[in-house]
Structure 1
Amino acid sequence: MAEKSKLKIDFRTYMMIVALVSIWIIFSFTTGGSFLSARNISNLFRQSVFTSVLAIGMVLVIIMGHIDLSVGSLVGLAGGVIAILDVWQGMNPVFSIGLTLLLGLILGLWNGWWVAYQKVPSFIVTLGGLLIFRGVLVGITRGTTIGPMSDIFYYLGKGYLADTTGVIFAVLAGLAVIFVQWKSRQDKLKYDFDVLPLKLEIAKISLSVILLVVFILVLNSYRGIPVPLMILTIFLAIFSFITSKTVFGRHIYAIGGNADAAKLSGIDLKKITLVVFMINGLMASIGGILLTSRLNAASVAAGDGAELDAIAACVIGGASLAGGIGKVGGAVVGAIVMASLDNGMSLMNVQNFWQSIIKGLILILAVWVDMYTKNKNAAA
């Protein structure tokens, strides 16, 4: 029975990765191999960074049992502010980035205060934020497109790391993968949890390292590792650690799983909720900086609908809108799945309306599979 339970956990953990690989194989055949070219893989991951960054913040909100509909407008506002500071005011890029990140924290604090301390439903608060932030954006930019940005922003949005740097990163990342997976195995053994047989564990770690090395070599064969992808990797590592290894992360899951029980156990629901919305605001402002840097300009339409993409990425990646379930890594995989669909269908010259229909159907299918799996596990 224990072995059967372990297989279920493995299925849910790797289902999205299997789905992603399947999508890549299908598009490779339908595009004559161009989908898996080094150039397209590089573009694909660079394009996925924006939604991935938003999904990292959004998944924390969803795990806690809330929702944030304002991140798209916050992205646009952050992009507008940094463009104004850079282009119109000529401010030092370091200061302009710092002020924009501070803006994200403050607006996240605004949302969190209403939700945590005034008990207004997050749907209503963030729907209001969607309208307010977009209105402020139009007002401060006078409805105009602002650009071009300074060189440093071009590097943030479209730059690449040198090949040597990519190799060093591959070595360090490979060592990190080995350390993390092996330490996880030792921790499980320490508390008498089920683990894979040693040979399978070594094979799993070896495969992870090989795939990582191949991925870096593919990127280096084009122009190197995209700078935005490097930034995303750093945030992925940070928030994966926070959610899985810290008391704060466990509190987020506890609140999403059962808020009343979490409160009775001594968890400060208001404080945790406020901080999570602040983090989400920070990630949205980072997304706005990266998007403006990639487009080399800010516009009133920037980030429009991005909140829906972020929510979809979290759900496709395994997060439950009921709260208590979800992973940062899963949200990023969900964002890559969505970017792969956009990229592959564009290479196939699929019309835009069909792209929307297909992505919508896949979102519904992902939720259905998740619910079916939960119900089946509960019945067993």
Structure 2
Amino acid sequence: MSSENSSQNPEQQRRKPRVAVVFGGRSSEHAISVVTAGAVLRAIDRTKYDVLPIGITTDGRWALTADDPERMAINDRTLPTVAALAESTEGGVVLSVDPGNREVVYSEPGSVPKALGDVDVVFPMLHGPYGEDGTLQGLLELSGVPYVGAGVLASAVGQDKEYMKRVFISFGLPVGPYEVIRPREWDRDPAAARRRIVDFAGEHGWPLFIKPARGGSSMGITKVDSLAGLDDAVEEARRHDPKILVESLLRGREIECGVLEFEDGPRASVPAEIPPVTSHDFYDFEAKYIDAANGLVPAPLTPEETAEVQRLAVAAFDATSCEGLVRADFFLTDDGGFVINEINTMPGFTPISMYPRMWQESGVGYPELVDKLIQAALSRPTGLR
């Protein structure tokens, strides 16, 4: 027995690894994070792991929440929140930033802080800014706690669609036309920024998609068919992020592919296709989560097309230095070539979400997928790697 193991008491040696599932957060994707976490809590093998659910409210408070996946689902088109699950409206959870101390402490005003025990690994189920963008990952690196998914750099690049595209281009991956309007440009001279967008439309044609540069779940995206709707679309995107991305319409099929890190390296799943959504203008938030529009798994592609999109998905994973998992989204254009649209370092993760469905079809069921991600995080060294 190693000296490290011999220094542990029998209780420490016997206890199961403790997984803190962290969800919610300050972004506009708060509710989807809660839904995703509920599915993961339901799937974690409780004979193998102890679980500690920690929700982050929309104002940033870390709360001890009920371990109740049924209350974390979308019911009758009503979205769940951490506030409704929190055990207290004032109590807060604190994770130590001392790498030698992984203890989680819960405190309420006027009460003695209560130790909740050590955490061995964090499963961060947050989407969007203040969670999926490297901020939470940086905190966990400071704390010395292993966590599921991409590190600080990959998370930040995966959240910012401008720099994601710049990285893809530098690695030779095919990217569609885009334009970026930074906050100061619109604030100081909206007329000049507007002209740039109109010039872009003149070169690539209408319609355009105006979207938050650092958003997700299709929130804040507007399809604009002419100059008349442009300003409203920009303001809608800026409600979610002051930096906006302008993209041209790529005519073709929407194809997705999952990447999962195995012991011998990342592998790609069978791809999926998002068919045209006739009840919506495009594959927006309501189509994804409220109406639960179904994709085709596997995508009806030729063997050559399947091999190519799998190659590109793994290449995108490697280009952005990702770890754990990624969902890569593509367009198969009418001329037969693939263009990568974006990656998601923490994709939607309910059993009906595309990422788990692609891996289910690839032979990795949902509970096994959750377990593989936890085990990979536990075996990954913390710090620079």
TM-score, length basis structure 1: 0.26
* Structure with the largest fraction of strand: 2
**Whose relative contact order is higher, 1 or 2, with alpha carbons under 8 Å and at least 6 apart?**
1
Q: Which has the higher helix share?
A: 1
